[in-house]
Amino acid sequence: MTQATQATMTPTMERPPFFDLYGIPDHKLDQLTQAVSEQGPKEVVAETKASPRAPLVDEELPMARSKDSTRPAESGAIAAKSVAASSSEYVPQEEPSIRFEQFAHARVAKPNPAAQSIIRTALAKSILADLRSIQQYAGSAMAAAYAAPLLKTMRTMRDLVPYDPYVKVVMALYDAMAYENRWADYDAEQYQGARQTLGQLAKQTSIDRRDVAKAILELEERGFNTTPFGMPATEED
Amino acid sequence: MSKGHPPSLYKTIFQVRYESQLRYVQQISPAAQQMTEYPDWETDGVRVTLRDRDKHCSVAIAPDSFSYEQDSGDASLEKERIQRLLDVIPSSMGVDSATRIGYRQWFMLAVDMPLDSLVSVLNVKLLSSDEGLRQVLPQTISDLRYRVDASDDGHKYHITVGPVQKNEIPRWLPFNRGHHLRPGTAGGEFRKIVDAYPDVAVLMDIDMYREAEVLPMTEASSFVDQCRGTLSQMADSLGRYLFAVDLGG
């Protein structure tokens, strides 16, 4: 138990597999990677913020969203809920930073498939339980009490098993929920749907790219905007 | 994934502690002579140790305690020998109450994954994955040990669970080479025993005990039965919990 294990970290800036979900072309990704290597993540964040197509990153991610700042909603019903719920004082004190933390996690050692499956099951159980809870209180101030631990567990999963394809789907839902506190906009039916999608996927013994794409598409069809932010613009654009 | 369920039993120690009295010193030898199933013996004039090297078990009798130790997973032998010990020693020595009765077992659950993967699993299953803690600790957790002291219904527990690889198992699973192997061949025998250990495993060391000023010796036998069931079930449940891949409901 105290025996030192072999070094498991890979010192290279390897790209986590879920990165491609955001649709970043490889050449742009390389630019970002290089920029992080040279300047550190903060500078990249600032550069990205300057882009008109990239209204992302930490500072703009929520605390409470004001009544005036509701985004164009997919439906009138959701928009109405958004106004009500987002003005709540129960907004979780989470600062979900979505994109640039991923570089740090690229060095996490990849567990073998059996271990990955066990870890996935353990964390998926927690996520599904939190989704059930938030589903029950969707649209009410109480939903915030369940949104915070849910988002936290999702980030934990990303940190611990970033190579698991299941994480791609989890993080797609995370983006849909965390960006501008949109967790408050979704209704019970949508959360139930997300739970079904994630639950069914977690039960699979193996998950490939098609399963991931299908699950993310399902989330989109259920009304989750899994790519809520734009991409950094470059000169080529 | 675990290679087999339930976890395998490797070692058992049963011990009764009582208040030391001078009269016990003289009663130890007659009591020990009744334990004829142990071919070898040793004494320092106060304590007596009885050994059965073929079956890797021994009994130690002292003025303040008697104990049984077995370095094997032979559950029926353990049950038989402990019962015999409880039938003979307290009555022969006139010990009618104890201050502590303890039953400790070591289990191992062999796994089919490298140590670092097992560490990752146990890290998620047994330790906090809270972001706050992760931000404090270095990025890579390369090894760990889960250790709790617990209690319920008058019973107390020391529970240790951790990942082990073959070469470190003897440190966490202390084989009594002096009493349980033959002096001339102990080295070779012990190497064979270590070779048979799993390459990577979860080791569970569970000690269940009762402590009080007066514990009637008449309750010792039923307590041991209870311990046996509890520890076996706990080890089995821990194994199932650690390697669950079923979402349930």
The domain locations on chain B are 8-242
Statement: residue A64 has pLDDT above 80: no
Token pair of B110 as six digits: 């062999």
pLDDT in tens, A86-117: 333 333 444 433 333 333 444 456 788 889 88
Higher pLDDT, residue A151 or A44: A151
Statement: residue A229 has pLDDT above 60: yes
Statement: residue A148 has pLDDT above 70: yes
Grouping H, G, I as helix, E, B as strand and the rest as coil, residue B117 is helix
Helix (H) or strand (E) holding B81: helix B75-93
Q: A56-60, A171-175, A222-226, B187-191: which has the minimum mean pLDDT?
A: A56-60
Q: CA-CA distance, A36 to A224, in Å (whole number)?
A: 30
**Smallest Cα distance from B49 to chain A, Å:** 31
Which of A109, A114, A123 lies nearest to residue B113, judging by beta carbons? A114
Higher pLDDT, residue A70 or B91: B91
The domain locations on chain A are 24-221
- Under the banding of pLDDT at 50, 70 and 90, the label for residue A1 is low
Which of A3, A109, A156 lies nearest to residue B165, judging by beta carbons? A3
Q: A223-237, B4-18, B139-153, B156-170: which has the minimum mean pLDDT?
A: A223-237
pLDDT in tens, B199-219: 999 999 999 999 999 999 999
- Chain A environment of B170 (Cβ under 8 Å): none
Instruction: Tell me phi and psi for residue A36, to 5 degrees.
Output: -65, -40
- Under the banding of pLDDT at 50, 70 and 90, the label for residue A234 is low
Statement: residue A61 has pLDDT above 60: no
Which of A107, A118, A199 lies nearest to residue B121, judging by beta carbons? A118
Q: CA-CA distance, A228 to A230, in Å (whole number)?
A: 7
- Beta carbons of A8 and B168 less than 8 Å apart: no
- Under the banding of pLDDT at 50, 70 and 90, the label for residue A163 is confident
**Residue range A140-145: mean pLDDT, rounded:** 89
Average pLDDT, chain B: 94
Statement: residue A36 has pLDDT above 70: no
Higher pLDDT, residue A77 or B7: B7
Q: A13-22, B101-110, B132-141, B234-243: which has the minimum mean pLDDT?
A: A13-22
A10 touches B: beta carbon within 8 Å = no
Rg (C-alpha) for chain B, rounded Å, is 20
pLDDT at site B132 = 85
* Residue of B115, B123, B143, B245 to mutate, testing the A interface (most A Cβ within 10 Å of its Cβ): B245
Q: CA-CA distance, A233 to B8, in Å (whole number)?
A: 59
- Under the banding of pLDDT at 50, 70 and 90, the label for residue A198 is very high
**Residue range B6-17: mean pLDDT, rounded:** 97
Report A:150-179 residues touching B (Cβ under 8 A): 152, 155-156, 159-161
- Under the banding of pLDDT at 50, 70 and 90, the label for residue B108 is very high
pLDDT at site A10 = 30
Q: CA-CA distance, A96 to B131, in Å (whole number)?
A: 12
Average pLDDT, chain A: 66
Grouping H, G, I as helix, E, B as strand and the rest as coil, residue B112 is coil
Q: CA-CA distance, B156 to B207, in Å (whole number)?
A: 8
Statement: residue B145 has pLDDT above 90: yes
